[in-house]
């Protein structure tokens, strides 16, 4: 689920910032319909990598024209490490929308390594992402992107559309799930276990609705209800998380002593930069060179939003807000925005993102963006109205936004302080399954499975195929990261 920043053409939801590349060697396995070769899935700029087997699946771009244009779908398999492999692999659905499964998996692989001991991991780059005919807008320099304004958004959206090698109408979630199932069939798996994070929970639910007999179990981390139009509640849920964090600071003796009344300081800061934007210079996140930024309401809200995704960066909010409000030091907040913006420009296929949003979500948006007093204001709705007024819309089933139900075992995970998919979303989804369990990770933000012992719990659930007897006592060790009192970290 993205949040559009009008002058960057990028999503602000994504919790994992990554790109990947494949390195191919000799053929390893010939699966029915897919020839697999050894490959290494990398997260550039980090030491994270995963060795697996990669290949291609051919699919019709338009399912109604099976003899028409074909696209290549990237498929990867991480074989089970042990001597005996269970017959049902884990299928991983990436977030965004617009992120790639093969590029995202190395980030979560460590948390689920126990699961990979006796189960294959199946990764399919959803059409339009990664190496599956990616619908990526032309890369533009960061300075140029930041200089765009509302008047430029329509023309830059049209430029992106004109540059794409593909028909955006056929890159929706429902069509993509047929690719996933074709990969399952080609590799000879009868049943699979589903794991989706953020937007990936929507994809997993759609797959389950389409192919219920193929699913053994489902894990939904940071849950998106089918009834939700992505983006319509981003501003509301962000404020909910921010003010819970700031309230926790007020209740912490050391934090409140050093950063008193932070909520009111934030409100004043918003008014100040909204009325009088400030020209500042920060260090470019990749070149290290001085970089000019106009610190305005959009930059402030975007910076704070990124910081609210993780417990570790939530702990910095009182310090940075206090510093900006009382010392007029805006550089560190602006730097956070630039770092995240740079990563997201690389990791998100913006064309696929808009294909999903405009086809599946925009029809549920109000005719006009509603004014509000939230930190983000109406930025998301305004951008979506402009872009989806241009972007072609694909077919969406009439029941797409109806809740998915079933008797398959479902484990739902939430971070207590998630700013975009809060625990109440998972509660809305859980009631539609006869065998579900919802775990809330104390003090955590977006994507819970990589925190503490949550990955072990997920692995146990999939291995057992049931949430009835999960050992969850270890979750009591999870807590919010102590507040930073200085840039060196929390007090000793």
d(CA 88, CA 463): 10
Q: How much of the chain is in helix, strand and coil states, percent to nearest 5?
A: 40, 20, 40
Burial of 283 per CB tally in 10 Å (0-12, 13-18, 19+): middle
Residues 139, 151: Cα–Cα separation, whole Å: 19
Q: Is 88 helix (H, G, I), strand (E, B) or coil?
A: coil
State the Cα–Cα distance between residues 9 and 4, nearest whole angstrom: 6
Task: For 195-210, write each residue's pLDDT tens digit.
Answer: 999 999 999 999 999 9
Question: Containing H/E element for 49?
Answer: strand 49-60
Q: Residue 276 and residue 362: Cα distance in Å, rounded?
A: 33
Q: From the centroid of its chain, how far is CA 235? A: 16
Looking at the DSSP bridge assignments, the partners of residue 52 are: 39
Burial of 476 (0-12, 13-18, 19+ CB in 10 A): exposed
Helices marked H in 20-141 — which ranges? 101-109
State residue 206 phi and psi, 5-degree precision. Answer: -65, -40
CB-CB contact of 145 with 172 (8 Å) = no
Contacts of 163 (CB under 8 A, 6+ apart): 137, 138
> H or E segment at 37?
strand 34-42
Q: What pLDDT is attached to residue 21?
A: 30
| CA 221 – CA 447 distance, rounded (Å) | 6
Q: What per-residue confidence (pLDDT) applies to 30?
A: 41
The pLDDT value given to residue 28: 38
Q: What is the dihedral of CA 441, 445, 447, 448, to 10 degrees?
A: -20
Q: Model-level pTM?
A: 0.92
Residue 357: DSSP 8-state: I
- Angle among Cα 147, 392, 141 to the nearest 5 degrees reads 20
For every residue of 126-169, DSSP letters joined together read -TTSTTSS---PPP--HHHHHH--HHHHHHHHHHHHHH-SS-GG
Query: 121-124 and 34-42: which strand pairing?
Result: unpaired
Cα–Cα distance measured from residue 322 to residue 326, given in angstroms and rounded to the nearest whole number: 6
| Residues 269, 383, 244: CA angle, nearest 5 degrees | 40
Cα separation of 90 and 60, whole Å? Answer: 25
**Strand 192-197 and strand 90-93: pairing?**
parallel
* Length in residues, the chain: 492
- Cα–Cα dist 23/31, whole Å: 20
Cα–Cα dist 452/447, whole Å: 12
| Rounded-to-integer distance, Cα 201 and Cα 418, Å | 15
The helix-helix angle for 317-327 and 262-275 (nearest 10°) equals: 50
Distance between the two ends of the chain, CA-based, in angstroms?
37
Write the CA distances from 471 to 221, 376, 475, integer angstroms: 18, 39, 9
Residue 97: asked if its preceding bond is cis (omega within 30°), the reply is yes
Per-residue pLDDT of the chain (492 residues; tens, 9 = 90+): 333 333 333 332 333 333 233 332 333 344 457 999 999 997 756 678 899 999 999 999 999 999 999 999 999 999 999 999 999 999 999 999 999 999 999 999 999 999 999 999 999 999 999 999 999 998 766 666 666 678 889 999 999 999 999 999 999 999 999 999 999 999 999 999 999 999 999 999 999 999 999 999 999 999 999 999 999 999 999 999 999 999 999 999 999 999 999 999 999 999 999 999 999 998 887 778 888 889 999 899 989 999 999 999 999 999 999 999 999 999 999 888 787 777 666 678 999 999 999 999 999 999 988 889 999 999 889 999 999 999 999 999 999 999 999 999 999 999 999 999 999 999 999 999 999 999 999 999 999 999 999 999 999 999 999 999 999 999 999 999 999 999 887 877
Residue 125 to residues 105, 151, 260, 379: CA-CA distances in angstroms?
Answer: 11, 34, 47, 29
Query: Rg of the Cα trace of the chain?
Result: 22
Nearest-CA neighbor of 380 among 155, 229, 157? Answer: 229
């Amino acid at each position: 689920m993205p949040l559009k920043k009008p002058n960057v053409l990028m999503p602000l939801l994504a919790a994992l910032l990554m790109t990947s590349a494949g390195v191919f060697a000799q053929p390893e396995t010939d699966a029915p319909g897919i020839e697999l070769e050894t490959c290494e899935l990398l997260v550039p700029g980090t030491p994270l990598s995963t060795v697996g087997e990669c290949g291609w699946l051919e699919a019709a771009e338009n399912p109604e024209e099976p003899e028409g244009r074909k696209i290549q779908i990237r498929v990867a398999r991480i074989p089970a490490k042990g001597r005996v492999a269970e017959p049902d692999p884990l299928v991983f659905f990436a977030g965004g929308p617009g992120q790639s499964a093969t590029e995202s998996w190395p980030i979560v692989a460590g948390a689920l390594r126990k699961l990979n001991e006796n189960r294959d991991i199946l990764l399919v780059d959803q059409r339009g992402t990664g190496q599956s005919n990616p619908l990526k807008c032309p890369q533009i320099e960061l300075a140029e992107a930041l200089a765009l304004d509302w008047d430029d958004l329509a023309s830059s959206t049209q430029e992106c559309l004109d540059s794409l090698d593909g028909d955006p109408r056929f890159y929706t979630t429902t069509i993509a799930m047929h690719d996933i199932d074709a990969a399952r069939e080609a590799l000879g798996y009868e049943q699979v276990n589903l794991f989706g994070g953020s937007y990936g929970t929507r994809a997993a639910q759609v797959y389950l609705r389409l192919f219920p007999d193929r699913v053994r179990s489902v894990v939904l981390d940071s849950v998106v209800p089918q009834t939700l139009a992505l983006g319509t509640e981003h501003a509301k849920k962000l404020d909910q998380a921010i003010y819970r964090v700031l309230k926790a600071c007020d209740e912490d003796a050391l934090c409140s002593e050093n950063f008193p009344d932070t909520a009111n300081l934030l409100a004043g800061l918003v008014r100040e930069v909204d009325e009088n934007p400030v020209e500042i210079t920060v260090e470019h996140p990749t070149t290290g060179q001085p970089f000019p930024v106009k610190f305005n309401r959009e930059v402030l809200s975007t910076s704070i939003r990124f910081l609210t995704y993780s417990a570790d960066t939530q702990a910095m909010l009182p310090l940075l807000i206090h510093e900006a409000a009382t010392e007029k030091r805006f550089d560190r907040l602006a730097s956070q925005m630039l770092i995240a913006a740079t990563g997201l420009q690389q990791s998100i296929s913006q064309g696929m993102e808009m294909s999903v949003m405009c086809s599946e979500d925009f029809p549920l948006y109000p005719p006009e963006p509603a004014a509000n007093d939230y930190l983000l204001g109406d930025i998301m709705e305004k951008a979506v109205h402009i872009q989806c007024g241009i972007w072609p819309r694909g077919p969406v089933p009439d029941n797409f936004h109806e809740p998915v139900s079933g008797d398959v075992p479902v484990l739902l995970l939430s971070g207590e302080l998630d700013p975009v998919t809060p625990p109440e979303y998972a509660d809305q989804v859980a009631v539609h399954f006869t065998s579900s369990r919802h775990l809330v990770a104390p003090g955590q933000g977006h994507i819970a499975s990589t925190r503490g012992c949550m990955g072990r719990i997920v692995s146990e659930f999939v291995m057992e195929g049931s949430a009835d007897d999960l050992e969850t006592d270890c979750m009591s060790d999870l807590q919010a990261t102590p507040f930073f009192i200085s840039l060196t970290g929390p007090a000793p």
